[in-house]
Amino acid sequence: MNIGIDVDGVLTDYEWYMDYFATQMGHETEIHTHESNMLKRYNWTKEQEKKFHRKHFMWYVRKMPIRENVAATIKALKAEGHNIYIITARAYADRKTVFGSLMRTCLKRWLAKNSVEYDELVFVDWKNSAEEKVEWAKKLAVDVFLEDTVENIDKLKEICKVICLRAGYNDGVYAEETHTESQIEKQHVTYANDFYDVYSLLGANAHSMDESCIDVEQWKAHYRSFPFDEKELTRYRKHYRRLWNTLSGLMKAGLHLEIAGQENIPEEDGVIFVCNHRRSLDIPLAYLALGGKHARFLCKKEYELSKLQATVQAIGTIFVNRSSKASSKTARRTMIQTLLHGGNVLIFPEGTRNKTEQIMLPFRYGAVRIAGKTGARIVPMVIKKLGKKSFRIVIGKSMQVGAGDVLEEKNRELWECMREMVEGI
């Protein structure tokens, strides 16, 4: 099969990037989520749009984060014999100018940095992208095209199947059916929320599951059928060890820490660590309590585009848009994959910092839901501030969640356990 792939909005979450930085422009921004054009999406003037691009365009082409699991999915598809053609209307990249050459170089380096494999890279005119993408799709005999822009999809669907990466500006445009592996064969346009969905539609080894199944081994087989880059997990651990060796000494010198219960940390990996959350410092404190044991922590997506971007990405942070169910599902899939391949995860089940007088906020269900599908143990820990620079951290005994357990009851059990731990400090 010949697979055509767009870049902006497909390999990247372009919509998130636009909205995040648009709201940082120094004035109130009303977002019309069904629009992709910036002038219409934010009710901007041409000058506001130019200001946005002057400030953020070069950052985007060099550093924009790639979607989760892109490289592993494309590598698996190529291993199955599919050809990958990246066909992009990246602004100015088709021009035979010095700046056009710079744009082409930036994209090639970005693809290499993110380990994206491909057979051919094609640049088309962004002002005439729909027509030119159709021509290239015909020339390369593309069977399936991954795209996000409605104008392009409407043209491409006449000559090939299209997988539409869901965004506000294309959601609901095309009819949807129940998500099945054969859906791509029945429809001209099929939605995908992420590259796990892409692989379930295209990958020969994709294994579907009935959500009502309570057999843990079947769930493990399902998730293991998706591609996963174990070398990437090894790199995360390596970067984390370097960071931990540097920062642990500094933190221990500047803080007074009491850590109890470290004997409850399992020697083996594949563990879900959960922790209460009152301050940004809780993240490095939790890592100190784990004694250098690497765990990918779940973090709000805003940090993916912050000044800490390079650091948090290097250690394998899993980002989630807290207002998006699709993003939550992608993050959950990534955590499950990590656990099944010998990694650990760190979750703050309150979902945000507790700024109230309550001991803890209500827990979200992510930790117990993931434990039920993987058989992974949950290890609770709590952090309590004793003084200005004094903290006590307690690590509790592990608990398990069976696939048939009632999640509400297990979530309440976990909350009560951690409440008692906090009150016992």
- Could you tell me which of 271, 10, 283 has the C-alpha nearest to residue 148? 10
Q: Which residues contact 51 (CB under 8 A, 6 or more apart)?
A: 25
Q: Is residue 332 part of a domain?
A: yes
Residue with tokens 């979530």: 411
Whether 195 is covered by a domain: the verdict is yes
Q: What is the pLDDT of residue 142?
A: 98
233 has pLDDT over 70: yes
Give the per-residue pLDDT at 90: 96
Distance CA 148, CA 17 (A): 15
Please tell me the total count of domains within the chain. Answer: 2
Among 202, 217, 247, identify where a domain stops. 202
- Report the pLDDT value the prediction gives residue 152, as an integer from 0 to 100: 97
The fraction of the chain above a pLDDT of 70, given in percent, is 97
Is residue 326 included in any domain, yes or no? yes
Range 224-246 average pLDDT: 92
Q: What is the mean pLDDT of residues 88-107?
A: 96
Listed in sequence order, the DSSP H helices in 255-356 are 282-289, 309-314, 325-340
State the CATH number of the domain containing residue 286. 3.40.1010.10
Q: What is the pLDDT of residues 120-162, one digit of tens each?
A: 999 999 999 999 999 999 999 999 999 999 999 999 999 999 9
**Contact (Cβ atoms closer than 8 angstroms) between residue 140 and residue 164:** no
Q: Is the pTM of this model over 0.85?
A: yes
Q: Distance from CA of residue 378 to its chain's centroid?
A: 22
Largest CA distance in the chain: 69
pLDDT at 181 over 70: no
Q: Enter the tokens of residue 130.
A: 């729909």
Are 192 and 277 within one domain?
A: no
Residue 24: which pLDDT band, with cuts at 50, 70 and 90? confident
- What DSSP character marks residue 394? E
399 and 265 share a domain? yes
Query: Quick one: pLDDT at residue 183?
Result: 58
CATH code of 78's domain: 3.40.50.1000
Q: What is the pLDDT of residue 26?
A: 66
Q: Is the pLDDT of residue 174 over 90?
A: yes
Q: How confident is residue 306, by pLDDT bands cut at 50, 70 and 90?
A: confident
pLDDT exceeds cutoff 70 at 291: yes
**Residue 283 covered by a domain:** yes
Looking at the structure, do residues 300 and 355 belong to the same domain, yes or no? yes
Query: For residue range 182-191, what is the model confidence (pLDDT) as tens digits?
Result: 556 666 899 9
Q: Do both 106 and 252 map to the same domain? A: no
> Does residue 215 lie within any of the structural domains?
no
**Domain interval for residue 373:** 230-423
